[in-house]
Amino acid sequence: MATSMNIPPLSFITSSFLCVLLFGARGLCEPVPGMYVFGDSLVDVGNNNYLPLSLAKANLPHNGVDFPTGKATGRFSNGRNAADFLAEKVGLPSAPPFLSLVSRFKKLSSSNATVTGVSFASGGAGILDGTDELYRQSIPLTKQVGYYSLVHEQLVQQLDSDEAQAHLSKSLFVVVIGSNDLFNYFNKNSKASKEYTPQQFVDLMVSTLKGLLKRLYELGAHKFVISGVGVIGCCPVQRKHSATGDCNEEINTWSMKYNDGLKSLLQEFMTESSDIHYSYCETYDVMNNLIQHPETYEFTEIKEACCGRGTLKAEFPCTPISTYCSNRKNHLFWDLYHPTEHTSSLFADSIYSGPQQTTFPMNVEQLVNV
């Protein structure tokens, strides 16, 4: 008597064979063929190293002390950041910094690296132009999207228009940005606070971001991974202003209000175009949970930075003259602004496979299969 076997249909075998035959070497048959990252220092993998005037660089020790090479790479971390962990989870290499692919003549190289992804993220960057006034030079989101248009043009040339569209429709477009806009607004010397009320400012952030997301959609993006702003009033540089190390609740309040506007934007965005899918991570709640229940995640220090100098090690950034903690896994923060590698791995876990309470309408694991 014949027994049934789990043999895939011939059409599947044929299409899979053709896909591998045509594109296998370039990874276009993978569930996630590419990951394109936009954002700030939370996901910067070294773009700022190529900006001669930038004050926001992490290209010196003790940054990178736990990176596989043991060296500083431009990541604002003791090791890898959330973008690195997310790439690993979807089976891709970490996306290279865009500026590493650009020649001194400002021409994009013909490297195949753009197929599996590129990072445009830049420390100090904001949604709004001019947010980097504290750091002198960064790549604002408007310019990051402009750089992506060059990558899109190259992909069309490499793969042809239809193949490029198929590739990009399955790729992930990761956007982690907004903290610097709020930091800049609430800075005592802020120009923006003289021009806008806090509500007007977060509304401007949201409307500007919507226009840039639409532009990415026009350039082939269909699957978005969007992170809300975290509990940024609780980072060491904000806590140091309180004698008891308390959080800055004003900036936390407006972080939540921005996140509310962002969630409304994404719902509108999806209804306007039926082929758009997204995963939104409520980073605020994820981060707040780490702060409220540190013992669950083996944290013993949630206020003081691991690397720095002065009060809460937040008076000075992480540089060779700073001191750093011996156990990075028990610290929530690496430096005055940024999470440790361990914290970033927990964020990536939430983004990839978190429950619907914090990652909705689906997590990245589900988004991949849409």
Q: What is the 3-state secondary structure (H, E, C) of 107-119?
A: CECCCCHHHHEEE
Q: Report how far Cα 267 is from the mean position of its chain's Cα atoms.
A: 20
Q: Full-prediction pTM beyond 0.85?
A: yes
Buried (b) or exposed (e) across 82-121, using 16+ Cβ within 10 A? Answer: bbbbbbebbebebbbbbbbbeeeeeebeeeebbbbbbbbb
> How do residues 82-125 score in pLDDT, each as one tens digit?
999 999 999 999 999 999 998 654 667 666 668 999 999 999 99
pLDDT at 112: 66
pLDDT at 53: 86
- Which of the following is catalytic: 44, 132, 181, 335? 335
Partner residues linked to 301 by β-bridges: 331
- In the 8-state DSSP scheme, what is residue 7? P
Q: How far apart are CA 351 and CA 285, in angstroms?
A: 12
Bridge-based pairing state of the strands 359-360 and 277-281: antiparallel
- In the 8-state DSSP scheme, what is residue 316? B
Q: How far apart are CA 254 and CA 261, in angstroms?
A: 11
Active site residue 338: yes
- Which of the following is catalytic: 152, 167, 331, 338? 338
Active site residue 277: no
Contacts of 167 (CB under 8 A, 6+ apart): 28, 33, 34, 115, 155, 159
pLDDT at 24: 46
Active site residue 322: no
Partner residues linked to 39 by β-bridges: 176
pLDDT at 104: 55
pLDDT along the chain (370 residues), means of 10: 38 37 51 97 97 91 98 98 98 96 68 85 95 79 97 93 96 98 92 95 98 98 98 98 97 98 96 94 98 97 98 96 97 98 98 97 97
pLDDT at 137: 84
Domains in the chain, please, with CATH? Answer: 30-59+66-295+341-367 (3.40.50.1110)
pLDDT at 325: 98
- Which of the following is catalytic: 41, 171, 227, 344? 41
Contacts of 355 (CB under 8 A, 6+ apart): 363
Q: How far apart are CA 339 and CA 75, in angstroms?
A: 11
Give 53: exposed, middle or buried? Use CB within 10 Å, 0-12, 13-18, 19+.
exposed
